[in-house]
Amino acid sequence: MAIRVDLDVMLARRKMKLNDLAEAVGITPQNLSILKTGKARAIRFSTLDAICRVLECTPGDILVHVPDGCAGLPYQ
Amino acid sequence: MTPAFHPEGRLRRIARVSAITRVLLALGALLAVTSWTAPMLVEARVLEFTIGPLRITWDIWSKWPSLHAALAEIGWSPSAFLVMPRVLVFLAVAIQVVQMFGLYQQGLIFTFRHVLYLHRIGLLLILWGVILLGFPALIRVLAGWFAEGYQGYWFSADWDALFYFVAGLGVTVMAWVMQEGLKLRHEQELTV
């Protein structure tokens, strides 16, 4: 997948746990875990809007486009 | 009591009816296989059932009288040749159907295993249609090898064969459609 999800980075910056974010956003921790681990195939705008509002960030802080073949590179 | 329109109520209703259906399917399959294989033991041509005042007579060779005569003439067992393929295919289909209803009984109503069972049923029905269409020709070829100068039965346009073949195609297409539906659901499950 060419989109990397850096949700754990934002969670660490905001010192927030996954379960707390899930409760604040209104989705299950299992669903949020799917997003965090990069297994999600799609994300609704409403969910993205809620996450950005809670973490006080922009979509670009969470979603990073990675060219094919560079998915394993660390966050920069 | 959970109303039938509630999801759990619906699933419970499906499980109950599936359990009854499985039992009836298994009994029906046993009865059908017994009725088809029984003539093999006595090489009977006509089978009779008596259930209370009701008497059912079934000439199992009514569609292929000349084939029966031709096989008997060259010393082969007509019942073994024409009944066993039918029994085996029927049993294979019945097993798939009973297993599929077993999944319904467990509350699993839309999984890739259902697709697998449906696909197998479709292929078996197609195979049975092909066998029904080509069996007399196969018998003639085999008879030609083993019974010198045999000029027997060649081809039978059996409408049952066409029905099984078309039904098999229909079930196979349904399995493919169900598979696409499952992929869409899987995609939906991974949408956050």
Lowest mean pLDDT among A53-57, B80-84, B180-184: B80-84
Burial class (CB in 10 A: 0-12, 13-18, 19+), B52: exposed
pLDDT value at A30 more than 60:
yes
- Gap between the Cα atoms of B101 and B138, Å rounded: 35
DSSP helix/strand/coil, B105: helix
- Gap between the Cα atoms of B85 and B98, Å rounded: 20
In contact, B70 and B88? CB cutoff 8 Å: no
User: Which of A5, A37, A41 is the best substitution to test chain B (most B C-beta atoms within 10 A)?
Assistant: A41
Q: Which residues of chain B form beta strands (DSSP E)? A: 46-51, 54-59
Report which of B64, B43, B46 is spatially closest to residue B55, judged by C-alpha positions: B46
Q: What is the mean pLDDT of residues B109-122?
A: 93
Nearest CA distance, A30 vs chain B (angstrom): 10
> Higher pLDDT residue, B186 or B49?
B186
Q: Which residue of B has its CA nearest to A31?
A: B192
Check CB contact under 8 Å for B187 and A42: yes
Task: Report ipTM (2 d.p.).
Answer: 0.74
Check CB contact under 8 Å for B192 and A44: yes
Burial class (CB in 10 A: 0-12, 13-18, 19+), B139: buried
Q: What is the mean pLDDT of residues B73-95?
A: 76
In contact, B86 and B64? CB cutoff 8 Å: no
Check CB contact under 8 Å for A39 and B191: no
Q: What is the mean pLDDT of residues B51-67?
A: 64
Report which of A49, A50, A52, A30 is spatially closest to residue A40, judged by C-alpha positions: A30
DSSP helix/strand/coil, B107: coil
pLDDT value at A76 more than 50:
no
pLDDT value, residue A21: 95
% of chain A surpassing 70 pLDDT: 88
pLDDT value, residue B64: 60
Q: What is the mean pLDDT of residues A33-37?
A: 92
Of A27, A32, A41, the CB nearest to B187: A41
**Residue written as token pair 């499980």:** B15
pLDDT value at B71 more than 60:
yes
Q: What is the mean pLDDT of residues B92-110?
A: 90
pTM: 0.67
